[in-house]
Amino acid sequence: MDLILVGFMGSGKSTVGKLLAQKLDKEYFDLDELVVQRAGMSIQEIFEQSGEAGFRKIEQQCLRDTEHLSGILSTGGGTPIPENNQQILNKMGAPVVLLAASIETTLARITDSDGRPLVEQLGPSGLNKLFKQRQIAYSQVSDFQIHTDRLSPVEVTEQIMEQFQVVK
Ligand code: S3P
């Protein structure tokens, strides 16, 4: 991979990832989409049939499959949490960018979002807890972070390109 985006649900990974890929003329990979393709069912259905553990297994297989591809990869919000995944991400050698947002912005963005089983399962207080729990892993795995609360996806994309001095 050329660049990897990580961050909590609703941080804008997919939107920014697509924009970056377009601007840089690279291929775009969305780990959630790869999981859905591999499983032949939606994320919601995977959680229903095999639980979160089943989902994480497929997610890790798909992450490994991207190891030797080049392009921009948007991960899922939970991808950087398992230690094995952190090792896979490090091994890829691509810059890892954390898209960070406040809990308030995050909750506003993901409440009522379809297709995110954890949002339904956990509710606002559970999501708040998960958000806090994940911060250490997010910063450990990332090389650079951008606070997105007051930025549009285009501005976030431009900042990433500036940071890595890739101008197109
Ligand atoms: C998850 C985030 C989702 C998806 C799955 C689990 C998480 O991806 O991978 O529902 O554990 O935070 P997005 O961050 O793209 O919503």
**Per-residue pLDDT tens over the stretch 48-88:** 999 999 999 999 999 999 998 999 999 999 999 999 999 99
Atom of ligand 1 nearest to the CA of 110: 16
Q: Calculate helix-pair angle for 83-92, 43-65, nearest 10 degrees.
A: 40
79 CA to centre of ligand 1 in angstroms? 8
Under 8 Å CB-to-CB from 77, ≥6 apart: which residues?
Answer: 7, 8, 9, 11, 118, 134
C-alpha distances (whole Å) from 10 to each of 46, 72, 105, 107 are 20, 18, 9, 8
| CATH code of the domain containing 61 | 3.40.50.300
Annotated binding site for ATP: 10-15, 116
Q: Which residues line ligand 1 (CB under 6 A)?
A: 9, 13, 32, 43, 76-78, 116-118
For 17, the domain range is 3-167
Residue keyed to tokens 């697509």: 18
Binding-site positions read 10-15, 32, 56, 77, 116, 134
Q: Whose CA is nearest to atom 2 of ligand 1?
A: 77
Nearest CA, atom 15, ligand 1: 76
Query: Which tokens sit at 77?
Result: 């919000």
Among 100, 107, 58, which Cα is nearest to 82's?
58
Helices (H), 12-116: 13-24, 31-39, 43-65, 83-92, 103-110
Q: How many domains is the chain partitioned into structurally?
A: 1
Assessment of whether the complete model's pTM goes beyond 0.75: yes
The pLDDT tens digits of the residues spanning 77-134 come to: 999 999 999 999 999 999 999 999 999 999 999 987 778 999 989 999 999 999 999 9
Determine the distance separating the centroid of ligand 1 and the alpha carbon of 168, expressed in angstroms: 30
